[in-house]
Chain A
Amino acid sequence: AQTVTQSQPEMSVQEAETVTLSCTYDTSENNYYLFWYKQPPSRQMILVIRQEAYKQQNATENRFSVNFQKAAKSFSLKISDSQLGDTAMYFCAFRPPSNTGKLIFGQGTTLQVKP
């Protein structure tokens, strides 16, 4: 079965510092997609970043970047220059190559940015 594991239930970081959230997944597929979603206290799920497995280059979106290690099945999220508005729960999600569009989510990491 395909699974996604986030081993850090809670993390904290000082404002303006850098933090890395970990995610590992298990699959026998070769082509797939990975996502990081953010869920702030409002509970609205917001897409942060996506990575296609066939691309070797790590995705970047402003202060957010990923370290995608396909062989190790690792997909970590780095947040640079952390801001108070980054306080949220972060979910890693895996999308298998089938066209059902189903996402498999990790358990989430609660990140608190401290002033």
Chain B
Amino acid sequence: DGGITQSPKYLFRKEGQNVTLSCEQNLNHDAMYWYRQDPGQGLRLIYYSQIVNDFQKGDIAEGYSVSREKKESFPLTVTSAQKNPTAFYLCASSIRSVAGPEQYFGPGTRLTVT
């Protein structure tokens, strides 16, 4: 089955620790995205990558880092510099095209930092 996987579904960390969220896709998509979702708010873009070994900051990149060493993988690290890391994190991917493709989403990871 083609799709996007995110693991784990729930993640708990102590304040001050870095944590890495996994995102893998087997859709052969070039572009991948990370969003954050807070209660009562829409999705906000953290980072995105259009091609391997290249990525750009989104609207709320502070306190986060990413890597894109493989086409299939786009892990997100939530660092201790992120002031409010508790949130629901969604990964998405799409083909790289100016034709306006939709994005396909993974099931998400709920991160709780205490």
Contact = CB atoms under 8 A, between A and B. Distances in A.
A100 B107 CA distance: 23
Contact of B94 (A4, A42, A97, A101): A101
B33 interface: yes
A43 B107 contact: yes
A16 interface: no
Interface stretch (B37-45, B61-69, B70-78): B37-45
B90 A45 contact: yes
Tell me the interface secondary structure of chain A in the complex.
loop
A99 interface: yes
- Which of A9, A42, A105 gathers the greatest number of chain B CB atoms within 10 Å? A105
Contact of A35 (B40, B41, B102): B102
Contacts, number: 63
A58 B33 CA distance: 28
A89 to B, nearest CB: 10
A107 B102 CA distance: 18
A68 to B, nearest CB: 14
Please classify how large the interface on chain A is, using the bins under 10, 10 to 19, 20 to 34, 35 or more: 20 to 34
A44 B107 contact: yes
A11 interface: no
A42 B50 contact: no
Contact of A4 (B42, B97, B103): B42
Interface of A: 4, 6, 9, 32-33, 35, 37, 42-47, 50, 52, 91, 95, 97, 99-103, 105-108
